[in-house]
Amino acid sequence: MNLRKIGLSAVLITGLLIPLCAQDKQALDVLPTMSSRSDAANQIWVGAFQLLWNDFMKELGGPAQPLGEFPPIVYDLNKKGFTKQDLSEESYYAKQGRNTPALKREMEKDILEKFNEESQVLDKMQWDSSGTLFYVMLKKDFEFMTAFNDVEEDSFGPQGSQIEYFGAVTKEQKESVKPLFYSPGEFAVRLRSKQNDEIYLYRTNATGTLEELYQRMLAKMSTGREAPLGAADTFKAPKLNIETEREFSELQGLRLQNGGMISKALEHIQFKMDREGVRLVAEAIMGTSRGIVRSRHFDFDGRYVIFIQEAEKKPYFALLVDDPLAL
């Protein structure tokens, strides 16, 4: 796999259940793009809202052009840093149309049939035929190549938060962990799944956007090859169980040069990673006025990054965690 050809990425980290709509800067910041800048200690990105925005721009006939001030979020989304070509078709569902009750019923039926899921966001929209709606659900549910062991609760980061981990104990489990590079305090591994998804865990204290951290990881991977995990080497990673939602207030009420207006925009994310694998369900939805349409220790016990992507494609998920107890 030629990772150096990959542009954007996805990052994630550790924690307990995150309260719905938690937008505290010290908790978890839901980012619209991988290149979005944030001061939050914990950050998460999923490609669902970008896919929605791409469909929106297709209807507009080009990049969105706001009236007056140009918000940074629009500038970043207009770049189309993540597209449907970076994801298999069976992993997402996209729909757009006039916001009628009939469309809502159709979408509920479609996502139940395709993903066996119920929407967490459709009931939060107006279904009065007053405008146009754009929607994307992105779902991933996969198992690690080898299930890991639950290991003893241990501390995380300089604050010493006690959290639950899973790890490699047996020889078979260690063989399923691919070390990518290693130095004390900064290292990375890759975990393979039984499906077509790869999970990159990157331990680092470096700062920057999620995209910048991903590029830093790629650069370090190019410096050489690491030996497989030996008997004295260790691997453990935090268990994650996250549910969060963000309304993009920067977009709501935004008027465009064609006379349309964005009335509501939000993204809902559910993510779980444990000893067996990963489950991700992300929904993005946006309503518009009618005028719009057209010896080494690979122990991830401090600040670190995870990248998840389909083989040979760009990552579709990102999350940064610095303090698990703040989640």
pTM above 0.85, yes or no: no
Partners of 284 in beta bridges: 136, 267
What's the token pair of residue 125? 């929209």
- CA 202 to chain centroid: 15
The 92-98 sheet, strands edge to edge: 92-98, 131-143, 277-289, 262-273, 240-247
- CA dist 13 and 43 (Å) reads 8
Helix (H, G, I), strand (E, B) or coil at 77: helix
The backbone torsions φ and ψ at residue 57, rounded to the nearest 5 degrees and listed phi first, read -65, -35
Partners of 93 in beta bridges: 137
CATH number attached to the domain at 1-327: 2.30.39.10
Partners of 114 in beta bridges: none
In order along its 327 residues, the chain shows pLDDT tens digits of 333 332 223 333 333 333 333 344 448 999 999 999 999 999 999 999 999 999 999 998 899 999 888 999 999 999 999 999 999 999 999 999 999 999 999 999 999 999 999 999 999 999 998 889 999 999 999 999 999 999 999 999 888 889 999 999 999 999 999 999 999 999 999 999 999 999 999 999 999 999 999 999 999 999 878 999 999 999 999 999 999 999 999 999 999 887 789 999 999 999 999 999 999 999 999 999 865 554 577 888 889 898 899 988 999 998 898 877 777
- CA 198 to chain centroid: 14
C-alpha to C-alpha distances, 272 to 1, 239, 281, 308, 312, nearest whole angstrom = 26, 8, 9, 13, 23
